[in-house]
Every structure is written in C-alpha cells, then in structure tokens.
Structure 1
Amino acid sequence: MKTLSFIAGRALQGVVVMIGVSLIVFFALFLTGDPATLMLPPDANRAEIEAFRQAMGFNDPVWIQYGRFVGGVLSGEFGKSLRFQRPALDLLFERLPATALLACVSLAWSSLLGFVLGTIAAIRQNSGIDFAIRVISLLGQAIPVFWLALLLIIVFSLNLRWLPSSGIGTPWQLILPSIALGAYYFSAITRLVRASLIEVLGENYIRTARAKGISSWRIVVHHALRNALIPVITVQGMYFASLLGGALITEIIFAWPGIGRLAVESIQTKDFPVVQAVVLFAAFVFVVMNFLVDIAYVFLNPRIRL
C-alpha cells in the first residue's frame, strides 16, 4: 500500500506540473500583444487580421480559449502550423526520431564511458589515474557545447575530412553531433559516479565486507554500486529528458533535423502552434522521466518511499 500511495502521489504531482505548464504556454501567447497581429505578416491589413482573429477564436473570452486549448491538447490536437499548414503534432513526430536517435547515442556512450571511468577513479582515489580522469571530466563540463561542436567540425570535417559536418542518414553523420552533445553529460556522470561511489565505499558495511576477506571487485560490484546508482539514475533520467526535448545548439550547428531545430525555426517564423506543441512535449517528457526515476528509487532503496 505504501508503494502504491507513493507512486500515486508522484503521478498527481506530475499532473499538477503539466497543468501549470499548459497555463504558462497558453498565456505566453498573449504577453507580447495581440496574437493575431504577431502571427500574421507585417503587411497584413486590418480585414485580414480581424478574419484571422475570428478564425482562431481570439475574440472569445480567455477562459473559453484556454478550455479549448486544453481540450485540443488532451485529444492530440495542437492546431495547424502557420508555416506548413499541417498539424503541429505531425511535424513534431516527424522530427522526433532524429532527436531520439541523437539523444540515445549521446547518452549511451557518455553513460557507459562515464560509469567506467568514474568507478575506476573511485577505486584508485588520489592516484595519478584518478587525477587524469578528474581533469578530463572537468574539461568536459567547462567547454561550451557550441565551441566544442565548431572545433570538431573544423578538425575532423574541414581539415582532416574524416567525417561529414552536417546532415542525417549515415552512421558517420551521427558521430560528431553525438560527441559534442554527450561530452558534458559524460563529464557530469563521471564525477557523480566517482563522488557517490567514494561515499558508499566509506560506509561501515563496506568495511565489514572487507574484514571478511571479500575481494575489492566483488565489494564494488555486489555491495557498493547498488547504493551509488541512486543519484546517477536521477541525473541520467533528467539528461535523457533534456536531450529528448531537443538539443537546440547541437541540432542547429550540425543541421540535424530534430525537435530542437524545429523549435528554433518555429520561434523565428512565429509559428506559435508548433512552439506550443514542442514546449508541452518537452515538459511531458520531463514529467514522465521524473516519474520513472521515482519508481526506480523504490526498487533500488525501498526506504525512500517512507
């Protein structure tokens, strides 16, 4: 019962968050003035503006407009793109596979390498290997994504001509953007695994296991990693949610046709239905990932649900 109430409470919190996001997304459209004037070209005359306002329902009371907006969201209808004259949700789903592919590859290599190096650094604490790993992880978090992306293009595309600098379609086109996008997460995961594992290795039950003559590798794998994984899972869940919501800078620099690039293009062209769809989708991904992480907590450490 306690587990079910814990999960139900987290689910209710997610619903409240989504309601708050929907309010922000809806009313943000009215913060900068008349939405009909903003959406139409600057040379639109008064008759065209009035006709567009009537067609979009902007003459109705705000609470009716919000109710219509929420009803459309719940039914999967975000309206038509003003630029492409197609359903906004269809455009989002067209770009989702590209973003999901980039997000999965970036998080996969950064998590695997970060987990391995973080574990090695924790086991060899204060050694030369630990120092080298800490320097690498510090550089990974200090270098801006856009600078690293441009550097990779200059070195591996323009000078060495080993890899393509943009586009999608082949595995080679995925290498540079995944490196640029995953470098920060690799560094963060490495430092978090190291810090978390060092803290766990100092616990009394670890000392007891060592006193019993259990090998260091068995202690780390079977005793320490389970508890050290809890903060790492949190970070990975939030990182994946942010990646799946669209990596704006990386997708723009590498001309990657994902959700982030769609969001930027929609903002530039004042395509508000698409912008609303992207923002709500990103918020929904964050809420779902946070919910899944909370459930994972319960199984990794049942005391958390109390």
Structure 2
Amino acid sequence: MLRHLVRFVVSLGVLLAASFAMLHLIPGDPVRASLGPAAPVELVQARTAALGLDRPLPEQFLTYVGHMLSGDFGTSFITGEPVADVITARLPNTLAIALLATVVSLLVAVPLGMWAAIRTENGRNRGTDAVFSSGTGAAVAVPEFLYAIGLVLVFSLGLQWFPPAGREGAISYVLPVLALAIGPIAMISRISRVETARELGTDYVRLARAKRLPAGRLYLRHVLPNTLTATLTIGGLLLTALIAGSLLVEYVFAWPGLGLKVVESITQKDYPVAQGVILVYGATVLIVNLLVDLVLGVLDPTSAIKES
C-alpha cells in the first residue's frame, strides 16, 4: 500500500508539471485571446502583469503548484468564473456517462464472451468463432469519436430517434454511452471468452458434467464467478480509460462535461480552466488505478507478495 501511495504522489507531481508545460508551449497569447484583437497594447500589458504571466516560467509554476495544493484552481481568463465552480458543475456529467458506459460494457460483454466460449468449445461452430473474433477485433480498433460521429449520422440525423447534442433528459444519454461502450464491450467480451474457455477445461467442470449438473447452474453458479476476477480487474481499469476517452465524445455530442470544457479552454488559451480540468482528469484516473491496485492486493495478497 505504501508503494502504491508513493507512486500516486509521484505521478500526481508529474501530472502537475505536464499540464503546466503543455499549455504554456501552445503558441498564442491568452490575454490577447480574452481581450480581443482590438484591445490596446497598454491594456494587454496591464492584464498580463495582473495575471502574473510576465513572470519567469519557473516562478509561475511554483505559484501554480502552491495554488493547486491549497485547493485554489484560480479563475477563468475568459469569464472570470472560479475554476472550481466549473469543475463542480461539469464533473458529474462526465462521470455519469463514464460509469454508465462501464456498467453497460460489463453487463453485455461478460454474457457475450461466455456465450462465445460455450458455442465454440472444442472447436465447434467455426463460423461463430470467426465472426466473433473478427467482429470484436475490428470493434476494438475503432476510436470512440468515430463511433460517436456514426451514431449521430444514423440515429440522430437519419432516423431521428435520439437528440444529436446536449443533455435533454434520459434519452440524451443513450448515444454518448453507446459510443463509449462499444469498444470496451468488444475488448471485455474477448477476455471473458478466454477466461470462460479456460474454466470449461478444468476438472471440476468435467466432474459437474459427468454428474449431469444442469447447464444453467453450472455456468452461472460455478463458471461465472471464476471468470469475473480478470474481467472486473479490466472493468476497473476500463473506467479510467472511459473517463479519459469521454473527451472527444463529449465534444461530438456537445455534452456539458469536462471534456467539452477542456477543448474549449485550450482553444481559447484559458490556462486556469484547462489546467484545472486536466488535473482533475488525471487525478481521477490515478485515484481509480490506486483503488484497483489496493482492492486487488486485498483480494489476492499473494500477488502483492510476488510483486514486492
């Protein structure tokens, strides 16, 4: 646990430095962007000095770290709104579609992978095996934002079943969640299939079949629990990937989450908002990874001993 906590702190420090450096390396003047191209030079210089952007970068970085550690995310260069308020208002929307996509992925992928393993056991149904392998392989390779664009074209602009953008009730969650979930469903179903196939070849399954145990009881009460360890581990890591992957999906659907806001803030050179959102994104991913590692250490202490 101590080793994982140290890694978390170090990773958080790297994240702070990276988020600061990335934005300051992007060409452009954030003050000029916020005041407009017609703003007088004197006003731009005064605003630059007031924001501390005329100071050396190392001094700006130390000030930035000090504010972050004290919980002060600053205020937006463009709107003057506190960054903490922006994050508080938008983070739940991002977490909502990421959590829903994770749940949908697990609920669909685990049974799908088990079904594929049972159908193709001992080399049976080679056609099913080929369709499953090629289909899931292709689905994993397609990025989320392409799914998002395709879903909008088909189900919003074409069939007009769902709203193309914004958050307008429960129905507006369908396409963003589906865009995030398709790839993970394919990936997790492949893992579930491998784990199920391994369990089907064990002695206890052969013994249960010899005793003519009902198939439903065998698969649900015996095979399924033994295949969930690796699947749930991937599911925990999947949540972090979906939080990060939601950025472009939110942009496509104009979803009022952190992803859309970070794209807007980077475009506008709004340093405080972009840095705060990037930091929250990264910290969320690090925290989830830390929790997954700690839970796995509790569930399987031997893995922690081997790692040390």
Letter in structure 1 aligned against 2:203: R
Aligned to 1:120: 115
Which among 14, 17, 20 is matched to residue 14 of structure 2? 20
Distance (Å, rounded) in 2 between the aligned partners of 1:86 and 1:233: 39
Q: Which moved more, 1:159-168 or 1:94-103?
A: 159-168
Between the two proteins, the alignment pairs up a number of residues equal to 297
Q: What is the rounded CA distance, in whole Å, between the counterparts of 2:128 and 2:274 in structure 1?
A: 46
CA distance in 2, matches of 1:250, 1:104: 14
Deviations 1:84-129 (CA, angstroms, capped at 9, x unpaired):
2111121122111221221122221121100110122223334354
User: What TM-score do you get using the length of structure 1 for normalisation?
Assistant: 0.84
Aligned to 1:74: 69
Partner of 1:4: none
For residue 78 of structure 1, give the secondary structure of its aligned residue in structure 2.
Answer: coil
1:170 Cα deviation from its structure 2 partner: 1.4
- Classify the secondary structure of the residue corresponding to 1:81: coil
CA contact (8 A) 1:177 1:250 kept: yes
Given the two structures, how large is their TM-score scaled by the length of structure 2?
0.84
* Matched-pair contact (CA < 8 Å) for 1:29–1:35: no
- In structure 2, distance between residues paired with 1:62 and 1:117: 53
- CA shift, 1:191, in A, is 1.0
Structure 1 residue 164: Cα displacement: 1.9
1:105 counterpart residue number: 100
Structure 1 match to 2:290: 291
- Identity across the alignment (%): 32
| 1:65 counterpart letter in structure 2 | Q
Distance 1:145 1:254 in 2: 12
Q: Deviations over 1:126-162 (max 9, x none)?
A: 4354444334423422444333333322332233232
Deviations, residues 57-96 of structure 1 (Å, cap 9, x unaligned): 2344544433321221122211111122111121122111
CA–CA distance in structure 2, aligned partners of residues 79 and 233 of structure 1: 38
Q: Which amino acid aligns with 1:18?
A: L
Change (3 A) 1:201 1:299: farther
Q: Which moved more, 1:241-250 or 1:220-229?
A: 220-229
Farther-moved stretch of structure 1 (144-153 vs 91-100): 144-153
The answer as to whether partners of 1:241 and 1:282 remain within 8 angstroms in 2 is: no
Query: Which runs of no fewer than 5 residues in structure 2 stay unpaired?
Result: none
Between 296-305 and 42-51, report the one with greater CA deviation.
42-51
1:251 aligns with 2:250: yes
Aligned-partner residue type, residue 179 of structure 1: L
1:8 aligns with 2:2: yes
Q: Distance in 2 between matches of 1:53 and 1:17?
A: 31
Match of 1:55 in 2: 50
Instruction: Confirm whether residue 210 of structure 1 aligns to residue 229 of structure 2.
Output: no
CA distance, structure 2, for counterparts of residue 183 and residue 66 of structure 1: 40
Contact 2:15 2:282 (C-alpha < 8 Å) held by counterparts: yes
CA RMSD in angstroms, aligned pairs only: 2.7
Answer whether contact 1:245 1:282 (CA < 8 A) is retained: yes
Unaligned runs of 5+ in 1: 1-6
Question: AA paired with 2:3?
Answer: G
User: Aligned partners of 2:296, 2:61: CA distance in 1, in Å?
Assistant: 36
Cα deviation for residue 21 of structure 1 reads: 0.9
